[in-house]
Structure 1
Amino acid sequence: MSTDTDSDKTPDEYWKRRAVVLGGMLAAVGLLAWGCSAGTGPDRPVRDAAALASASPAAPTALPTVTVTAQVTRTAAPRRRAGDACDRKDVVVDLAVSRTVYGRKDRPELRLTAVNTGAAACRFATGPKALDVRISSGSDRVWTASWCARGDASPRLLRRGIPYVRTLTWDRRRSSGRCGGSRPAARPGTYVAELVAPGLKAKRQVFALR
């Protein structure tokens, strides 16, 4: 009995049989791959992406921005004319004593000055009720220039840079009792003189009575 071997066949028949075997193997591999991918279709990832997008919360809508613009209206101050009342901030006042120590027979003298620093001449009240000078010792008010003052002088015209000067002499007696009557004398010691006027300040002056 004779057995057919690959050596007994012609070359053409050999390669034909090889091609058939190779084609069968490729077909088997293709069927296996199709079976593994049967659980997922080409459109399933698309459906999952759409479901994920629909389940995601919508982005919050931005609130409108409101801008408030404030407008400030300024009213121009009226222009001052010569002869009008002085503006308090334009008047510089000063108070000074002639000496720091007064003997038993000396009377203290105080000099009050007011200077207009504004652009134009103006009127300013300089009487004792408007510009009061007080002398005290601690919490004890001893004397005041407005004590027993009757009325007050009319406002003076203060020209720019020209000081108004008023000199006050203290008789070393207390402001008490009736006007024109006898008054007790102040005791030796340290005293403070100061200006009392609304909106105006002057440096306090310290002096002593012997």
Structure 2
Amino acid sequence: MEIDTDGDGERFWRRRVLALAGVLGTVAVLAWGCVRGTAEEPVTRTVAEAATPPPPPTAMPTVTVTVTTTPTPGEDGAACEDDDVVVTLGAAAKTYAKGAKPTFRVMVVNTAENACAFDTGTLDLRITSGDDRIWSSAECRDGNAAKETLRRGVPYVREVVWDRRRGCDGKGARPGTYVADLHDRKGKRQVFRLR
């Protein structure tokens, strides 16, 4: 009696393949069900949606950058160096009659090659009598002092008038001898008399 090994073997493998296909199908159905989610919260995002970045905000902040350059010494517009300016002081008279206000002329000249910015607030005309400081133009100035552009050899001239008061709103100064000079500046002092 012959045994049909070929028929039995073929059936054996056919059954194995069908069983394996069934297991794979069941796994695929379960996986599909897990990915889909529940009916209340279906999974609807696709891979393309997940990879899409969110839209940009409607209002973007504006950034303004301001660059300020400060000229270096020797360039036009740089601050004047003390060694490059010559300051002189002159008086309108040596003696002032009763009621006349002493008047002084301050002149500043730039000797550097380039134009420079001069702070006129550094010009402080002081009136003294012995060790007594009577008046200061810087202390009694109205408003802020301006900066002037000084070109080489072109003088800046300022007239300073003293109202004969002690301090900005004090009593009138007595007749006598007084000295006018520019504080912290080299230059000739002016000696004058009030009558």
Give the TM-score normalised by the residue count of structure 1: 0.56
- Is 1:133 the counterpart of 2:125? The answer is yes
Q: Is the 8 A contact 2:126 2:183 kept in 1?
A: yes
**Secondary structure of 1:192 counterpart:** strand
> Aligned pair 1:170/2:168, yes or no?
no
1:101 corresponds to 2:119: no
Q: How far off is 1:149 after superposition?
A: 3.3
Q: Once the 2 structures are TM-superposed, how far is the Cα of residue 153 of structure 1 from its aligned partner?
A: 2.3
**1:104, 1:79 → 2: CA distance?**
47
Question: Partner of 1:156: helix, strand, or coil?
Answer: strand
Between the aligned residues of both structures, percent identity stands at 50
Q: Does 1:89 align with 2:83?
A: yes
Structure 1 residues 47-83: Cα deviation after superposition (integer angstroms, max 9, x where no partner)? xxxxxxxxxxxxxxxxxxxxxxxxxxxxxxx761111
The separation in 2 between residues aligned to 1:139 and 1:193, in whole angstroms, is: 13
Aligned residue for 2:145? 153
Aligned residue pairs total: 124
Q: Aligned AA for 1:167?
A: E
Q: Secondary structure at the match of 1:89?
A: helix
Moved more, 143-152 or 131-140: 143-152
Which 5+ residue runs of structure 1 have no aligned equivalent?
Answer: 1-77
Map 1:1-210 onto structure 2 (within 5 A): 80-127=74-121, 130-149=122-141, 152-175=144-167, 181=169, 183-197=170-184, 200-210=185-195
Q: TM-score, normalised by structure 2?
A: 0.60
Provide the alpha-carbon RMSD of the alignment: 1.6
Q: Quote the Cα distance in structure 2 between the aligned partners of 1:150 and 1:106.
A: 21
What is the CA–CA distance in structure 1 between the aligned matches of 2:141 and 2:157, rounded to whole Å? 19
Give the unaligned 5+ runs of structure 2. Answer: 1-71
Looking at CA atoms only, which structure, 1 or 2, has the larger radius of gyration?
1
Rate the CA distance shift 1:102–1:80 in 2: closer, same or farther, 3 A. Answer: same
SS at match of 1:107: coil
Distance (whole Å) between structure 2 residues aligned to residue 204 and residue 79 of structure 1 = 30
Matching residue's letter, 1:121:
A
